[in-house]
Structure 1
Amino acid sequence: MEAFIFYVFAFLAITAAFLLVQIKNTARALFLLFVVLFAMAGLYLFALADFVAITQILVYVGGVLILLIFAFMLSNKELLADLQNTSKRFIALPSWQAAILSLCFLGIMLYAAKSWNEYTPTWIQEAQAKGTIIQAQDNNIKALGFKFMTQYVLPFEVISIFLMMVLIGAAHLSRKEDKE
């Protein structure tokens, strides 16, 4: 099942990225970028890079993508009119196909939840045997802050500069241009 979920994330990332560069509609391209970023976060989890996956979701999905959507919504009204003229639905699937797809995702989630409760992954069993499991009373925020400001200060600053550049870009895109 783990290999199946990995291949689903990989297929999702590759397919959405391919469609992203092919599509001409900006709103749908932003949605596909959202899918690509979430699929990549899932692949990071399979690579046991939990911190990178959480950072991917917080920084890129939570920050950058929201700024891009904000800039899109404030940009030209022609783009919004083009989106309204193409289709009344965002995804042009018939209702029965959408229901089947939703039920498949529900089945995968229920199977994963059942498997997680019945089978403990080996990395958790090893951590339990070594006694290195993080407890709720452990002071992880202090350790994380210390790591951010010592060992990971350069990546932290690069991400903050990147977010500032995205904010400037979003402000530039959303700026109203005078037509004289």
Structure 2
Amino acid sequence: MNIEQLVFYILAAMVLISAFMVVFNRNMVRSIFLFFVTLFSMSGLFVYALADFVAVTQLVVYVGGMLVLMIFAFLLSSKTILNTSTVHRTSLIGLHHVPGLLISLVFFLILFVTIYQANPDEISWIRNAGKNTITVSDNTIHAIGINLMTRYLVPFEIVSVLLMMALIGAAHLARRTKKL
């Protein structure tokens, strides 16, 4: 095992462990910071896959933007919501989890059957994927930037407006007061 594989396995373990801890941690502040570790480790995995644009986008959009939004939503939420969320102690698997577990199992079964029946050796673009390797010297960010600001300018602006609407909605939900 060389050093690249070791670093990859460490990053993958950090992603899996921190994501697991985000889901099962009852403290919201710790979950937010563990989510930061998860997203940062994912960007490291994207660097190893030579997806430099996706790694930078992961850092800027998710780590820089969405995590700050989550922290502001946490800070703007009222103390009564935070106190009542920690009061409810339930078991890990209960009767109220059965519908969610059944839906998850159905989706997992559909995914498993689809992957099993796909037969990836028969798909032409997978067979040709070995010929289309990206080298470190390729300038993919330059090509993505040109396409993003010419051909895909309108969808890019629509996504920015949708993200702004999500930010306004999150601020509105966080600042909601009781009606008398």
Task: Give the shorter-chain TM-score range.
Answer: 0.5 to 0.7
Q: Which runs of structure 2 are paired with 1:2-81 in the superposition (5 Å)? A: 2-78=4-80
- What is the Cα deviation at residue 161 of structure 1? 4.6
- What is the Cα deviation at residue 164 of structure 1? 2.4
Distance (Å, rounded) in 1 between the aligned partners of 2:73 and 2:33: 14
Deviations 1:92-148 (A, max 9, x none): xxxxxxxxxxxxxxxxxxxxxxxxxxxxxxx55xx4xxxx78xxxxxx87x664321
Distance (Å, rounded) in 1 between the aligned partners of 2:159 and 2:21: 27
TM-score (norm. length: structure 1): 0.59
Unaligned runs of 5+ in 1: 83-122, 134-139
- What is the Cα deviation at residue 160 of structure 1? 2.1
Q: Percent identity?
A: 50
- Superposed CA RMSD in Å reads 3.0
- What is the Cα deviation at residue 29 of structure 1? 1.0
Q: Which runs of 4+ in 1 moved over 6 A?
A: 79-82
For the structure 1 residues 166 and 29, does the alpha-carbon distance in structure 2 shift closer, same or farther, using more than 3 Å as the test?
A: farther
Distance (Å, rounded) in 1 between the aligned partners of 2:166 and 2:178: 23
TM-score (norm. length: structure 2): 0.59
- What is the Cα deviation at residue 177 of structure 1? 1.2
- What is the Cα deviation at residue 169 of structure 1? 3.7
Q: Which runs of structure 2 are paired with 1:29-178 in the superposition (5 Å)? A: 29-78=31-80, 127=137, 145-153=145-153, 156-157=156-157, 159-178=159-178
Unaligned runs of 5+ in 2: 85-134
- What is the Cα deviation at residue 23 of structure 1? 1.2
For the structure 1 residues 58 and 167, does the alpha-carbon distance in structure 2 shift closer, same or farther, using more than 3 Å as the test?
A: same
Matched-pair contact (CA < 8 Å) for 1:64–1:166: no
